[in-house]
Amino acid sequence: MIPAAVHPARSTVQSFIDVRSRSTGFCAPLETEDYVPQVASFASPPKWHLAHTTWFFEEMVLKKHLPDYQEFDSDFSFLFNSYYQSVGKRADRARRGDMTRPTVDRVKAYRIHVDQQMQLLLEQSSKSLEELVVLGLNHEQQHQELMISDLKYAFFQNPLFPVYADDADLTAQYNPPVDQPWVGMDEGIYEIGHRGDGFCFDNELGRHKVYLHQFSIANKLVTNGEYLEFLEVGGYDQFQYWLDEGWSWVQQEEASHPLYWKKQNDTWYQYTLAGLKPLDLDAILCHVSYYEANAFAHWKGLRLPTEFEWEAASAQFKWGDRWEWCESAYLPYPGFEIAPGALGEYNGKFMVNQMVLRGASSATSPGHSRSTYRNFFHPYFRWQFSGIRLVQ
């Protein structure tokens, strides 16, 4: 089962223990063979996630702040660096699953070694160090969600459709009853971006004003049943609903339905981490690309919200069950500056050819969501727990 929530108000030491334990707790149902395979370049194996999140604390924290720290293995910086050019060379991202060594047990020993040293360091913590550790914990929470989505994608390639855990469906969320289907927002100037003393990523900073025209945003997310109507009228066969790149993607991928949907004997099923299940028409749609979201909105005669519309209206509707595609390219806010050193590679260099998603999802770690959070992916990705909210 997916481990319980991490309490966001606990001390840094306790938060460190909780977050780190949640990663290993997620892996508890896995067999050793599940830790290694990499079925796509974008989906890393559980072993790599466990090691990389540990590497972050070793490389970014312990080596710089704990005197006389002895690194666990000199090869690990090469093996488990992800994309930090300033740290040094890295193993090929697409071949992370080829590394049968180090073993799973050695990676677990690596985590124990780093955790012990981190707890020693945190006993003499300063404010600046705590801020760096909190960043590392949020980084690990991002990877916890990736571990879930990557494992699901790997299991889906198995014709046996393995069950991770009976209580790990993560697609069985439903829209709450609402009095009005649309939330009306007045024309005017709204403030966007993070404020306050709580944690945020640097791409949320630079609170600024935006002018929005009057709009109405849906009080609920699109359901499986609603999206099935798009399929049944031939939505994937009619180019006029699709952006040009989206239509090319449909043809290249031979896409005809959302990821994890499967039709058997004229009945639609959906693969979940709890196994293959009949498609629940009332459940909220999951695992669609930006291209699919945009095409569905076009078919409905509506559109997706911009990220600014979404944030301005977010207090008026329930969110958090799906990452919600926005009609906004991932770009810097006014005054954004890339930080010096390795930490400056965290967000800024990815601000090209990606679309923003807002909210959170059923796979997001507890305590890791806020209305200003700016997630981002290339428009063709759909292995994340993404959905659709419409605007008129």
Asked whether residue 172 is domain-assigned, the answer is no
Report the pLDDT averaged over residues 57-78: 96
pLDDT in tens, 136-160: 999 999 999 999 999 999 999 999 9
Token pair, residue 106, equals: 């050695």
Angle at which helices 46-57 and 104-122 pack, to 10 degrees?
30
Residue 1 belongs to a domain: no
Whole-angstrom distance, CA of residue 240 vs CA of residue 299: 9
Does residue 127 sit in the same domain as residue 205? no
Residues 96 and 190 in one domain: no
Same domain, 259 and 381: yes
Secondary structure (H, E, C), 58-86: HHHHHHHHCCCCCCCCCCHHHHHCCCCCC
Mean per-residue pLDDT for 3-19?
A: 72
Place of tokens 């060594």: 101
**Arithmetic mean of pLDDT, 271-291:** 98
- The reply to whether 220 and 126 lie within a common domain is no
Q: What's the CA angle centered on 254, arms 252 and 259, to 5 degrees?
A: 115
Judge whether 328 lies within some domain: yes
Residue 88 — pLDDT band, cuts 50, 70, 90?
Answer: confident
Q: Is residue 166 part of a domain?
A: no
83 pLDDT band, cuts 50/70/90, is confident
pTM for this prediction: 0.95
Domain membership flag for residue 165: no
From 140, 156, 172, the end of a domain falls on 156
Q: Computed from CA positions of residues 348, 350, 355, 360, in that sequence, does the dihedral angle turn out positive or negative? A: negative
Report pLDDT for 392.
98
Give pLDDT, residue 312.
Answer: 98
Q: Which among 319, 305, 360, 329 is positioned nearest to 190, based on CA atoms?
A: 305
Residues 198 and 297 in one domain: yes
pLDDT exceeds cutoff 50 at 7: no
CATH number at residue 261: 3.90.1580.10
Query: Who wins on pLDDT, 256 or 346?
Result: 256
Q: Are 114 and 72 in contact (CB under 8 A)?
A: yes
Domain that holds residue 220: 182-387
**What are the φ and ψ backbone dihedral angles of 190, each rounded to 5 degrees?**
-125, 150
Alpha-carbon gap, residue 14 to 269, rounded angstroms: 41
Helix or strand run (H / E) with residue 272: strand 267-272
Looking at residue 52, its pLDDT comes to: 97
pLDDT of residue 348: 87
HSE on the CB side for 33, CA within 13 Å? 3
Domain finish residue from 118, 141, 156: 156
Structure tokens at 194: 């993070």
DSSP run (H or E) holding 150:
helix 127-156
| 196 shares a domain with 266 | yes
On whether the CB atoms of residues 355 and 379 are closer than 8 A, the answer is yes
Distance separating alpha carbons of residues 20 and 61, to the nearest angstrom:
15
Residue 27: which pLDDT band, with cuts at 50, 70 and 90?
very high
Interatomic CA distance for residues 275 and 342, integer angstroms = 40
pLDDT one-digit tens code per residue, 179-231: 999 999 999 999 999 999 999 999 999 999 999 999 999 999 999 999 999 99
What is the Cβ-side half-sphere exposure of residue 336, based on CA atoms within 13 angstroms?
20
Q: What is the mean pLDDT of residues 47-70?
A: 96
* 271 & 349 share domain: yes
List pLDDT tens digits, range 295-346: 999 999 999 999 999 999 999 999 999 999 999 999 999 999 888 877 777 8
Whether 206 and 331 share a structural domain: yes
Q: Look at residue 71 and tell me if it is in a domain.
A: yes
* Whether residue 195 is found in the same domain as residue 140: no
pLDDT at 6 over 70: no
Q: How far apart are CA 168 and CA 165, in angstroms?
A: 5
User: Do 137 and 195 fall into the same domain?
Assistant: no
**Co-location of 235 and 360 in the same domain:** yes
User: How many Cβ atoms sit within 10 Å of the Cβ of residue 31?
Assistant: 8
- 193 and 331 together in one domain: yes
Count how many domains the chain has: 2
Last residue of a domain, one of 92, 121, 156: 156
Per-residue confidence at 5, pLDDT binned at 50, 70, 90? very low
> How much is the average pLDDT of 55-69?
96
Amino acid (one-letter) located at 266 = D
| Structure confidence by residue, pLDDT tens digits, 343-369 | 777 888 999 999 999 999 999 999 999
Is residue 173 assigned to a domain? no
What's the pLDDT score for residue 121?
A: 95
Question: Phi, psi (5° rounding) for residue 315?
Answer: -75, -10
Q: Over 70: is that where the pLDDT of 294 sits?
A: yes
Residue 3 included in any domain: no
Q: What integer best gives the mean pLDDT of the chain?
A: 95
Q: Band of the pLDDT at 8, cuts 50, 70, 90?
A: very low
For residue 323, give both structure tokens: 């990452």
